[in-house]
Chains A and B, each alone.
Chain A
Amino acid sequence: MKMEHSISKTNSICTFWLDNHLFGVDVMKVQEVIPVNEITQVPFSKSEIAGITNLRGQIVTAIDLRRRLWKKHNMKKTSPINFFVRVKGELVSFLVDSIGDVIEVQEEDFERHVDTKNEISEDLIHGVYKLPRSLLLILDVDRAADVITTSDYVKRRSDYLKDNDRAQSAKMPRLHKKDMEVVQM
């Protein structure tokens, strides 16, 4: 996809909104956009992975783009729209808030460096197009899709869980777990 920023004068960008920011992906990479497809959560996966979803019989992993992009994710809500993108020959879904238009952008409006006020992971952004009304952040889909749950990660989490469990069950039988929570609330 080297061509998109060097040779052609205009590029078609498929846009979407996430937390009042306008993002875009080269239209050729977008497979399709489906509003609200059921997501099945995957235990022990990295927190940026929202789960798996069924796209006409194909199991596709959905990535919670909000968690992926923002350095601090204190927002609990999950975005509803599956934005299916082909990355390295594999379909991946990014969860986004809403879908914008497909727009033509001029090469000369592109700028490589983005100032995201340290909110958004800059290494996941290709660059920015300065549009008349807003800024269009171009997502580096290859990197954004690079969220791998390693077996080490799973092991650490499950160890943590077990230690926690052991600590709790040592003090009192687990039957009271629920009660404890009530008390805390």
Chain B
Amino acid sequence: MAYTDDEKWMKEAVEVLISETAEALVQVDFELIELERNPKDQSGINTIFRAFHTTKGNADSLGFNQLKLLTHAAENLLDEVRAGKLVIDSSIIDTLLNVVDAVRSSLAMIEEKGHDTDQDWSSIITTLNHLIPEKSAANIREEKKPQPRKKAVPAAKSPKKKTIKQKKEGKKAASLDVVAKDENKKSEVQLGEKTLRVNASILDNLMDQVGELVLARNEILQLVSQLNHDGFTQASHHLNSATAELQEGLMRARLQAVGKSWVTFPRLVRDLSAASGKKIRIFMEGEETELDRTLIEAIHDPLVHLIRNASDHGIELPGERKKMGKPQEGKIFIRAYHDAGQVSIEVADDGAGINPDKVRKAALDLDLIDEEQLSQVSENEIIMWPGFSTAGRVSEISGRGVGLDIVQTNIERLGGSIDVHSEIGKGTTFRLKVPLTLAILSALIVISGQNRYAIPRTTLLELVRLEGEEARSGIEYIQGTPVHRLRGKLLRLIFLSDILNTQIGDQSHAPDVNELESVNIVVSQVSGRQIGFVVDEIIDNLDIVVKPLSRHIKAIPFLAGATVLGDGKSALILDVNGLAQNAVGFQPSEEHKQSSIVSLSKQVQMESLDKRNLFIFEGPNKVTMAVPLDLVSRIEKIPYSNIVRTGVRNMVQYRDVIMPLLFLSSFFSDPCNPWRCPPENELPISEEGTLPVLVYAHKGCLIGVVINDILDVVETDITIQGAKDHDGVLGTAVVRNEIVEFLDLKGIVAGLDLSTDQTALTG
């Protein structure tokens, strides 16, 4: 029994050695690169030293001699550095990085075979010893000679301590050990006070339980709303808020700084630049941005891929960069930040950018597309296609043609998205967007046919509702493909019922466009494109718990999972990407890729056909703004004296009706309170005493939107650029060499409560 106990103990000790050392090595990698970049800042050197020191001690006690010798030699070198006798240069860093790799392979062997006797690190050790300045090196050689190397007596640490025996006997408390131990102790105490190590599986389990609680809460809330019982209602509200806080808190507990997996990147970039002869430096920002730990792991590989890509295809060789007038050293930036309940991670480089001609040529050469279709697809889409590669040859780094499409697939599988911005000569930016957590997600609950479906909000851009005449004329067909003109751009529509309901024998909702009273469109971002899903009804916005699908239905690409809704019934979570791919054609197989390109090019054509009239005006804070002219019913100058205050709103008599006035300046200072009339001196009242008003018809009633000044009407084809950065603005565009902001008139008005106005109008 004793024997097996020993064995067990040994096995455990080895496991601890392996996992602890591996963890420490990651940090060593990171600190070494930092040290190389900034040799004067030696704050990291203790970390490196400690890592080798601890590894040495552990290896010694477990009898891994080769590992011990190796780490000991590294320790010696570092000691010289610490003592200021040695100046850090790249050869030292190189050697130490080699040591790190050697330790890793040592660990791998120990894990596999249980010993490391087969490994011989003498060449690295010699290099290490050579790096130590003459005097101390002489010492080492002197002491080392009498013993054969395999006997595992490591070289002395420094001139101060003569032999290893002394240290072992502990007669002189070796200053090094004291320092190292003290530091260890210190950090442990700090950890004890502030943080707690919890087994990840406990947190996972708790998360599952909270998921159940959320479902039960949803159910209770729904029941309560039917019951109308005061006490019960109050209690359930309490339950509601407590659950929400618990969920939030636990989610936060599972969050980790995204930088945790980034510590390996500096090393990666260093290796890549060494391999390619380029000079590259990595900058990281927002490492502290927190993300669910499963997601951190899941996005690590895609990020590595993007970094490799940037080093290989992005950054140019130093000579080329010099010619371009750029600094020889190329830069890769990684930046993480929170963005509306999601996390965005950017990988940017200041390299050559994506050359559209090169991309197109490569696509042609690879037979991914034919000449005719080529002009109609954007290069940003092409680079994401399976099989695409511009690398002339397969390099060690990248260029195998299994590339960005895998990154895209992986990110989309997580419910995220990826997009690219590139400028020739200036660089390329890839932006990944991922949800904070995978377990609970915010979703839109929609009805299609007789079933309810959940659509994750991560890909959601906006909701559009067309009513009455708009609903009947708002959907047009181009060669059988339904589209909707959304602010001048054609939006490809997919009838959810077409895809889903016919599949389950539910014919009740085959959409008859001529009879539709209203159309609900869920506009989503799918692989860089906008697609509108037409649903029968949008009923709720819920936090749902994602449950896996069983093996029977797991492979269906339109489904991302299932959940339980408030009434206890199950519902499917839709995979928007899967749906869109189906509508445009299945991606993976060759013949379908062709058809998808055809329909794509069709779409691009349709978009460029569109020229629009824009109404240009001056908005609050002297910002030039624009709206499509066809949204504007009339532009009027209304006498200020005609404004009548009724309740919270200000009304004017306009033709035969009473029209409420919405003040843009009030909306932009407080979107919840657009009806508030600013003080008279802040109003753009003209000399004639009138206010410029844009009349907008919404659901049969008129709304007067007070603007600052009327500027112009222009006909132009424009593309809205830039993301929606604040409420009420869709983005910016350049019109006649001027930057204008696009007012989201529909969005603003959709957010209003107009019930009382309708009565005011009819009454």
Q: With A and B bound together, what is the CA distance between A177 and B501 in angstroms?
A: 15
For window 673-703 of B, CB contacts with A under 8 Å fall at: none
Known A59-B564, A61-B550, A92-B550; contact A151-B555, beta-carbon cutoff 8 A: yes
> Do A149 and B503 touch (CB < 8 A)?
no
Closest residue of chain B to A158 (Cβ to Cβ) is: B582
* The stretch of A40-48, A100-108, A109-117 that contacts the partner chain: A40-48
Do B556 and A45 touch across chains, with their CB atoms under 8 A apart?
yes
Is the C-beta of A57 less than 8 angstroms from some C-beta in chain B?
A: yes
Chain B residue at minimal CB-CB distance from A174 = B480
A59 neighbours in B (Cβ, 8 Å): 547-550, 562-564, 570
Q: How far is the CA of A42 from the CA of B562 in the complex (A)?
A: 10
Tell me which of B503, B506, B551, B568 contacts A161 (CB under 8 A): B503
Contact A149 B513 (CB under 8 A): no
B510 interfacial contact with A, CB 8 Å = yes
How far is B451's CA from A150's CA once the two chains are assembled, in angstroms? 23
Do B570 and A41 have beta carbons less than 8 Å apart?
A: no
Which residue of chain B has the shortest Cβ distance to A60 in the bound complex? B550
C-alpha gap A57/B563 in the complex (Å): 8
Residues of the B chain whose Cβ atoms lie less than 8 Å from the Cβ of A92: 550, 552
A154 touches B552 (CB 8 A): no
Given A53-B570, A57-B215, A58-B547: A175 and B557 interface contact (C-beta under 8 Å): no
B393 at the interface (CB under 8 A from A): no
Q: Tell me the bound Cα distance from A175 to B511 in angstroms.
A: 8
Rounded to whole angstroms, the CA-CA distance of A41 and B551 in the bound complex is 16
A45 vs B451: C-alpha distance when bound (angstroms): 15
Per-residue B-contact encoding for A20-54, CB less than 8 Å = 1, 0 else: 00000000000000000010111111100100111
Q: Are A43 and B550 interface neighbours, CB within 8 A?
A: no
Chain A nearest CB, measured from B562 CB (Å)? 4
Chain B residues closer than 8 Å to A169, beta-carbon distance: 480
A49 to B556, CA, bound (A): 13
Chain B 534-560 near chain A by CB (<8 Å), digits 1 or 0: 000000000000011111111111110
A2, CB-defined interface residue at 8 Å = no
Central interface residue in A44, A53, A169, by most chain B CB within 10 Å: A44
Q: How far is the CB of A155 from chain B (nearest CB, A)?
A: 6
Is B569 a contact of A90 with CB atoms below 8 Å?
no
Kindly state the separation between the CA atoms of A150 and B556 in the bound complex, as whole angstroms: 7
Known: A52-B570, A54-B564, A175-B512. A42 touches B504 (CB 8 A): yes
- Chain B residues with CB under 8 Å of A40's CB are 451, 562, 569-572
- Check B514 for interface membership: any CB of A closer than 8 A: yes
* Docked CA distance A65–B553 (Å): 16
Closest beta carbon of chain B to A173's beta carbon, Å? 7
Is A147 located at the chain interface by the 8 A CB criterion?
yes
A71 within 8 A of B: no
A148 at interface by CB-CB < 8 Å? yes
Pair B480/A42 contact, Cβ less than 8 Å? no
A157 within 8 A of B: yes
CB–CB B514/A149 < 8 A: no
Q: Interface code B554-595, partner A: CB below 8 Å = 1, 0 otherwise?
A: 111111001110001111100000000010001000000000
- A 149-183 to B, binary, CB cutoff 8 A, 1 in contact else 0: 11101110111010001100110011101100100
Q: Are B555 and A148 in contact (CB under 8 A)?
A: yes
Could you tell me the distance between the alpha carbons of A158 and B558 in the complex, rounded to whole angstroms?
11
Q: How far is the CA of A138 from the CA of B568 in the complex (A)?
A: 33
Q: Bound complex: CA of A174 vs CA of B499, how far in Å?
A: 14
| CA distance in complex: A161, B740 (Å) | 45
In the bound complex, how far is the Cα of B503 from the Cα of A46, in angstroms? 10
Residues of A within 8 A of B512 (CB): 175, 177-178
Closest B-chain residue to A145, C-beta based? B552
Residue pair A149, B553 in contact (C-beta under 8 Å): yes
Taking CB atoms, residues of chain B closer than 8 Å to A95 are none
In the complex, whether A69 has a CB less than 8 A from a CB of chain B is: no
Q: CB-CB < 8 A to B498: which residues of A? A: 165
Tell me the chain B residues, 485-544 only, with Cβ under 8 Å from chain A: 498-504, 506-507, 510, 512-514
Task: Given A38-B569, A54-B564, decide whether A43 and B500 contact each other with a Cβ distance below 8 A.
Answer: yes
**Contacts known (A42-B504, A45-B552, A59-B549); A173 close to B477, Cβ less than 8 A:** yes
Assess whether B568 is in contact with A44, with CB atoms less than 8 Å apart. Answer: no
Q: A43-B499, A57-B215 are in contact. Are A38 and B570 (CB under 8 A)?
A: yes
Chain A contact residues, majority secondary structure = mixed
Give every chain B residue within 8 A of A63 (Cβ-Cβ).
Answer: 552
List CB contacts (< 8 Å) of A61-118 with chain B. 61, 63, 90, 92
Range of interface residues on B (Cβ < 8 Å): 35 or more
* Residues on the A chain within 8 Å of B499, using CB: 43, 158, 161
Residues A90 and B553 in contact in the complex (CB < 8 Å), given A41-B451, A57-B564: no
**CA of A92 to CA of B514 in the docked complex: distance in angstroms?**
43
In the complex, what residues of A have CB within 8 A of residue B216's CB? 57
Do A90 and B551 touch (CB < 8 A)?
A: yes
Q: Are A178 and B510 in contact (CB under 8 A)?
A: yes
A148 and B503 alpha carbons, distance in the complex (Å): 17
The residue in B501, B502, B562, B570 that gathers the most chain A C-beta atoms within 10 A of its C-beta is: B570
Q: How far is the CA of A178 from the CA of B514 in the complex (A)?
A: 11
Hey, which chain B residues are within 8 Å of A46, CB to CB? 552
Give the docked Cα–Cα distance between A167 and B39 (Å).
Answer: 71
Q: Are B550 and A90 in contact (CB under 8 A)?
A: yes
Interface: B381 (CB within 8 A): no
- Tell me if B212 is interfacial: C-beta within 8 Å of chain A: yes
CB distance from B510 to the nearest CB of A (A): 5
Contacts of B480 in A (CB 8 A): 166, 169-170, 173-174
B570-A175 in contact (CB<8A): no
Check B556 against A44 for contact (C-beta < 8 Å): yes
Residues of A with C-beta under 8 A to B551? 90, 148
* Residue numbers in A under 8 Å from B477 (CB-CB): 173
Inter-chain CA distance A3–B225, complex, in Å, is 53
Residue of B nearest to A90 (CB): B550
Interface membership of chain A positions 124-145, coded 1 if the CB is closer than 8 angstroms to chain B and 0 otherwise: 0000000000000000000001
> What's the Cα separation between A175 and B557 when bound, in Å?
28
Q: Could you say which of A54, A90, A154, A165 contacts B556, with CB atoms under 8 Å apart? A: A154
CB–CB B451/A49 < 8 A: no
- Chain A residues positioned under 8 Å from B500 (CB to CB): 43
Residues of A within 8 A of B569 (CB): 38, 40, 54
Which of B502, B513, B557, B572 contacts A52 (CB under 8 A)?
B572
Q: How far is the CA of A112 from the CA of B211 in the complex (A)?
A: 46
Among A42, A49, A145, point to the contact of B572 (Cβ < 8 A): A42
Contact across chains for A175 and B514 when beta carbons are under 8 A apart: yes
For the complex, give the distance between the alpha carbons of A149 and B554 in Å.
7
Residue with the highest number of chain A CB atoms closer than 10 Å, among B506, B507, B558, B562: B562
Min C-beta distance of A103 to chain B, whole Å? 30
- Cβ contact of B557, chosen from A60, A147, A151, A178, cutoff 8 A: A151
Given contacts A54-B569, A57-B212, A178-B510, contact A148 B552 (CB under 8 A): yes
CA distance A151 to B557 in the complex (A): 7
Is A54 within 8 A of B570, CB to CB? yes
Known A-B contacts A52-B562, A166-B480; A42 and B556 likewise in contact (beta carbons under 8 Å): yes
Q: Which residues of B contact A150 (CB under 8 A)?
A: 555
**Chain B residues whose C-beta falls within 8 Å of the C-beta of A151 in the assembled complex:** 555-557
Q: Considering the complex, give the chain B residue whose CB is closest to the CB of A49.
A: B552
Point out the residues of chain B lying under 8 angstroms from A153, CB to CB. Answer: 555
If A44-B503, A61-B553 touch, whether A177 touches B568 (CB-CB below 8 Å) is no
The contact sample of 17 A-B pairs, CB cut-off 8 A, is A40-B569, A40-B570, A40-B571, A43-B556, A57-B211, A57-B215, A57-B216, A57-B564, A59-B548, A61-B550, A149-B556, A157-B503, A161-B503, A166-B480, A174-B480, A178-B512, A181-B507
Besides the known contacts A38-B570, A57-B211, 18 further A-B residue pairs in the complex with CB atoms under 8 A apart: A43-B499, A43-B500, A44-B503, A54-B568, A57-B212, A59-B562, A59-B563, A61-B549, A61-B552, A90-B550, A92-B552, A148-B555, A151-B556, A151-B557, A154-B556, A154-B558, A161-B503, A170-B480
Q: Interface on B for A, CB 8 Å cutoff?
A: 211-212, 215-216, 451, 477, 480, 498-504, 506-507, 510, 512-514, 547-559, 562-564, 568-572, 582, 586
Q: Which 7 A-B pairs have the closest CB atoms?
A: A43-B503, A41-B504, A169-B480, A61-B550, A43-B500, A59-B562, A151-B555
